[in-house]
Amino acid sequence: TDLSKLRNFSIIAHIDHGKSTLADRLIQRTGGLTEREMSSQVLDNMDIEKERGITIKAQTVRLDYTAKDGETYVLNLMDTPGHVDFAYEVSRSLAACEGALLVVDAAQGVEAQTLANVYQSIEHDHEIVPVINKVDLPSADPDKVKKEIEDIVGLPADDAVLASAKTGIGIDEVLEAIVTRIPPPKGDRDAPLKAMLVDSWYDPYLGVVILIRVIDGAIKKGQNVKFMAGGTTHLVDRVGAFRPKIEQLPELGPGEIGFITAQIKDISETRVGDTITDVRRPATEALPGFKEVQPVVFCGLFPVDAADFEKLRESISKLRLNDASFSFEMETSAALGFGFRCGFLGLLHLEIIQERLTREYDLDLITTAPSVVYKIHLTKAAGEAEARTIELHNPADMPDPNRIASIEEPWIEATIYVPDEYLGSILKLCQDRRGIQKNLTYVAGRAQLTYELPLNEVVFDFYDRLKSISRGYASFDYHQIGHREGDLVKMSILVNNEPVDALSMIVHRVAAEARGRHMCERLKDLIPRHLFKIPIQAAIGGKVIARETIAALRKDVTAKCYGGDISRKRKLLEKQKEGKKKMREYGSVSIPQEAFIAALRMG
């Protein structure tokens, strides 16, 4: 395709502002889909995405659009993931485009992810076209939103397009703006092939599908290509694009976005951000900015029913086929038996995987306390030339405290964007989580806060708390800023005098007592009464720092109906059995599945 007739753009927006709806509408208007095919949102195609209204994997569609100037253009639309956990994927998608539609809800105005996305977009030198969406809503106030875009975002908004992705208002204007305002890509057809690996996923029919943006040269079926960071070579067996249905193409030239397949079985061979080049005539330099993504949050996943272990292994392996950023290895726990230690990009990522395992694979799971990755500097052991440093993913593996010289924990820099009235409570939340305030500014009645926070304090429930304190108005974005030393200790939880390793966690010494007390109180409510008294304790080393006791049940539940109604008695017993299914036995104590996560939430 002639470079001047190409336009590559992404849509950026805060969650729920209408990104996916707009994308679907653009596809429909340019003839990619019929009305019937439009009936469900096209771009968000996983169940969970639909339900949570978030886009997990970036998707790309190639559209043909005949503009008012009579020329036909090829538009490549990239939908980007909308959550901080997937920031790197967003960054790669943006790097593949020359411009972006900035969608802002006409009733809600600018939000934190609007800003975070705009900053990223600007970093990639994008031409940004503001689109004020949902103008059909009675509460829409496009003029106010225009002013916000100018004052807060710092972009001219005079020529913002007013649109409704729902009713179709302004869609033609959006298409014209893409053609007239977003620049065509640059690229050299005669230079050696250089293409960026933007995304990849596993398709049961095609194998691993790789989404690419060609920078220079062209890629064809039958070509031998090399992945520069991965170091592997592959034979390209398909080249094409999504319209949104798959269409094979003879080639992808400079500036074009599309997919290739190359008989790759394992998605971990395809690293987002890698440079693809020709084997015989390779590019001399890879594209800049390649980064290996590393899991930052770990937790254990165990089947409630030990007999489900094999099923869990199969299900996890299947999910992993489509998500190379998630890691797993087998783990055994004294209390929980066989399971897996899994690594995730963030908490949302963890929840998504956990939910898919539960829902799509019908597994009852116990999730242990999420943990970040600690660096532990050990003291020099006898006979060792040098003191060792280990990375700790699992509190259960914490070395003997006498062997620890120091512990470092990961920190993040968080940007929070919140209406004035909630600022006080948000500051308190950050303070309680050992945050260090770096900056506070006001724009248009809202505060923009920058905090440094230990990731450890964020993984449990920070995001949920932030949302509930601000009634959903606060928005949050973060990036990691490295490890720092901290006074950290392992806190164990003992139920009926036995440590439950799945509940042990690493905490800051000053926060340990409050957290221990809280855990004991929560567990007291969550663990049902038994026929005997159950002590619950939190301890650091051998020292108990908090304690609660669950009183004994006075009678067997069936005792009430002795002599009488047999069927009622049977029903009660069955009910009890049903309840047991979702519990795990710890020695003689049954702990319900939900206790594991619920106990971790800080009130």
Nearer Cβ to ligand GDP (54/491): 54
Of 3-11, 17-25, 276-284, 323-331, the window that binds Mg ion (rule: CB under 5 A) is 17-25
Nearer Cβ to Mg ion (19/393): 19
Known binding residue 268? Answer is no
With residue 260 as reference, give the H or E element that holds it. strand 257-261
Known binding residue 19? Answer is yes
Nearer Cβ to Mg ion (41/448): 41
Bridge partner residues of 377 (DSSP) = 389, 406
What b/e string do you get for 216-247 counting C-beta neighbours within 10 Å, with b at 16 or more? bbbbbbebebbbbebeeebebebbbbbbbeee
Of 20-28, 456-464, 503-511, 571-579, the window that binds Mg ion (rule: CB under 5 A) is 20-28
Listed in sequence order, the residues at least 6 apart from 148 whose beta carbon sits closer than 8 Å to its beta carbon are 104, 109, 110, 444
Q: Which does 21 bind (CB under 5 to 8 A by kind): ligand GDP, Mg ion, none?
A: ligand GDP
Nearest approach in angstroms of CB 561 to Mg ion is: 54
Q: Is 548 helix (H, G, I), strand (E, B) or coil?
A: strand
Q: Does 10 bind Mg ion (CB under 5 A)?
A: no
d(CA 519, CA 536): 9
Q: Which does 15 bind (CB under 5 to 8 A by kind): Mg ion, ligand GDP, none?
A: ligand GDP
Total site size for Mg ion, rule CB under 5 A: 3
Q: Which does 108 bind (CB under 5 to 8 A by kind): Mg ion, ligand GDP, none?
A: none
Nearer Cβ to Mg ion (24/269): 24
Query: Does residue 9 contact residue 93 with C-beta atoms inside 8 Å?
Result: no
Angle between helices 347-359 and 309-321 (to 10 degrees): 120
Q: Which does 500 bind (CB under 5 to 8 A by kind): ligand GDP, Mg ion, none?
A: none
Nearest approach in angstroms of CB 175 to ligand GDP is: 16
Nearer Cβ to ligand GDP (169/544): 169
Nearer Cβ to ligand GDP (82/255): 82
Q: Which does 184 bind (CB under 5 to 8 A by kind): Mg ion, ligand GDP, none?
A: none
Q: What's the 3-state SS for 14-76?
A: CCCCCHHHHHHHHHHHCCCCCCCHHHCCCCCCCHHHHHHCCCCCCEEEEEEEECCCCCEEEEE
Nearest approach in angstroms of CB 150 to ligand GDP is: 22
DSSP per position, 83-144 = SGGGHHHHHHHHHT-SEEEEEEETTT---HHHHHHHHHHHHTT-EEEEEEE-TTSTT--HHH
Q: Does 113 bind Mg ion (CB under 5 A)?
A: no
Q: Which does 246 bind (CB under 5 to 8 A by kind): ligand GDP, Mg ion, none?
A: none
- CA atoms within 13 Å, Cβ hemisphere of 270: 28
- Chain position whose Cβ is nearest to Mg ion: 20
- Token pair in block for residue 104: 């802002």
Bridge partner residues of 161 (DSSP) = 131
d(CA 375, CA 483): 8
- Token pair in block for residue 89: 């994927």
Nearer Cβ to ligand GDP (146/393): 146
Nearest approach in angstroms of CB 165 to Mg ion is: 11
Q: Which does 351 bind (CB under 5 to 8 A by kind): Mg ion, ligand GDP, none?
A: none
Listed in sequence order, the residues at least 6 apart from 572 whose beta carbon sits closer than 8 Å to its beta carbon are 557, 558, 561
Torsion angle of the four alpha carbons 311, 316, 319, 325, in this order, in degrees rounded to the nearest 10: 180
Query: According to CB under 5 A, which residues from 39 to 58 bind Mg ion?
Result: 55
Known binding residue 136? Answer is yes
Question: Interface with ligand GDP by CB under 6 A: which residues?
Answer: 13, 15-21, 53, 82, 133-134, 136-137, 164-166
- Token pair in block for residue 233: 């070579």
DSSP-derived letter for residue 250 is S
Cβ neighbours of 433 (radius 10 Å): 20
Listed in sequence order, the residues at least 6 apart from 559 whose beta carbon sits closer than 8 Å to its beta carbon are none
E strand intervals along 363-470: 365-367, 374-378, 389-392, 404-419, 436-443, 446-454
Known binding residue 17? Answer is yes
Nearest approach in angstroms of CB 173 to Mg ion is: 21
Tokens 């084997």 correspond to what residue? 279
Q: Which does 459 bind (CB under 5 to 8 A by kind): ligand GDP, Mg ion, none?
A: none
Nearest approach in angstroms of CB 94 to ligand GDP is: 16
Known binding residue 16? Answer is yes
Known binding residue 134? Answer is yes
Q: Does 108 bind Mg ion (CB under 5 A)?
A: no
Q: Which does 530 bind (CB under 5 to 8 A by kind): Mg ion, ligand GDP, none?
A: none
Q: Which does 572 bind (CB under 5 to 8 A by kind): ligand GDP, Mg ion, none?
A: none
Pair type for strands 99-105 and 194-203 = unpaired
Nearest approach in angstroms of CB 471 to ligand GDP is: 18
- Token pair in block for residue 348: 């949302």
Nearer Cβ to Mg ion (55/121): 55
Nearest approach in angstroms of CB 121 to Mg ion is: 17
Sign, CA torsion 254/259/262/268: positive
Nearer Cβ to ligand GDP (21/456): 21
From 8, 10, 20, 113, residue interacting with Mg ion (rule: CB under 5 A): 20
d(CA 151, CA 172): 27
Nearer Cβ to Mg ion (165/198): 165
Nearer Cβ to ligand GDP (19/146): 19
Q: Which does 165 bind (CB under 5 to 8 A by kind): Mg ion, ligand GDP, none?
A: ligand GDP
| Binding-site sequence positions | 16-21, 133-136
Annotated binding residues for GTP, as ranges?
16-21, 133-136
The site for Mg ion (CB under 5 A) is made up of 19-20, 55
